[in-house]
Amino acid sequence: MGLLEKAIVLATQAHAGQLDTDGSPYIFHPLRLMLAVHTPEQQMAAVLHDTLEHTQLSVQDLEGAGLPASVIEAVRILTRPEDEPRMSAARRAMQHPIAYAVKLADVRDNMDMRRIPQPMAEDYERQEEYRHVLQLLTG
């Protein structure tokens, strides 16, 4: 099994049972990101980008899978503590080329309101935050 396939399996197993806001399997979000970026390293980081934040996977698990250090570093950089503002996380991601590509794809995917069947006020507020983050990322 290649490294990208290992990353996909890890992410799929880690996100098993999780649902996105539209009720679809959560893994669809990381898979969409994986398809939106270009290099194998970006694809691995994209499919794994939420594992440290939203699953039981650890950095040690990623290392144990034999993933490249650059991918693990990107996933670590993309992991946003709950109390960290989105702008701060975006600035951090901008400093790492793999993390930057994934963050840009992530923000664009998160801005797709089709993921939210019945948007509420807090969803629109979050969209406004994402617009500011996208402006930062795209200059």
Tens of pLDDT, residues 63-90: 999 999 999 999 999 999 999 999 999 9
Quick one: pLDDT at residue 57? Answer: 97
Euclidean distance between CA atoms 68 and 62, whole angstroms: 9
Tell me the per-residue pLDDT of 87-139, one tens digit each, with 9 for 90 and over.
Answer: 999 999 999 999 999 999 999 999 999 888 899 999 999 999 999 999 999 99
Per-residue pLDDT, 93: 98
Give per-residue pLDDT as tens, 39-50. 999 999 999 999
pLDDT category, 1, cuts 50, 70, 90?
confident
User: All domains of the chain, ordered by start, with CATH?
Assistant: 3-138 (1.10.3210.10)
Residues 6+ away with beta carbon under 8 Å from 109: 29, 32, 33, 36, 115
> Which H/E stretch holds residue 85?
none
pTM of the model: 0.96
Q: What share of the chain has pLDDT > 70, as a percent?
A: 100
**In the numeric block, which tokens belong to residue 65?**
């899978």
